[in-house]
């Protein structure tokens, strides 16, 4: 990928995380059915398991309950991101 393609990919990944964060919040408010939450949960786990894009998630300014949730997932990457 050239530099512009990488930037576009990262922006798209940030959008995905924003949408998942919103879905997580809606679930906390009781607005998602169990079936829909199962789909969102799988997407959160899938997105977090994309090790080469983990640095995008590890940017500040996230919803703390989602951060806590993700930090309790098993880490398929086998590494701890730098602060």
- Quick: pLDDT tens for 3-29: 999 999 989 998 999 999 999 999 999
Q: For residues 35 and 71, what is the distance between their CA atoms, to the nearest angstrom?
A: 23
Average pLDDT over residues 53-79: 82
Q: For residue 83, what pLDDT band results from cuts at 50, 70 and 90?
A: very low
Q: For residues 47 and 41, what is the distance between their CA atoms, to the nearest angstrom?
A: 10
For residue 75, is pLDDT > 90?
no
pTM of the model: 0.82
Q: Pick from 45, 53, 55, 50: which is nearest to 23 by CA?
A: 45
Q: For residues 29 and 33, what is the distance between their CA atoms, to the nearest angstrom?
A: 11
């Amino acid at each position: 990928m050239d530099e512009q393609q990488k930037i576009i990919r990262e922006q798209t990944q940030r959008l995905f995380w924003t949408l998942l964060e919103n879905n997580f919040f809606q679930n906390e408010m009781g607005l998602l059915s169990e079936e829909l939450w199962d789909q969102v949960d799988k997407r959160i786990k899938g997105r977090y398991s994309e090790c080469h894009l983990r640095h995008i998630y590890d940017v500040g300014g996230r919803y703390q309950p989602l951060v806590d949730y993700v930090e309790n997932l098993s880490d398929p990457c086998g590494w701890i991101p730098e602060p």
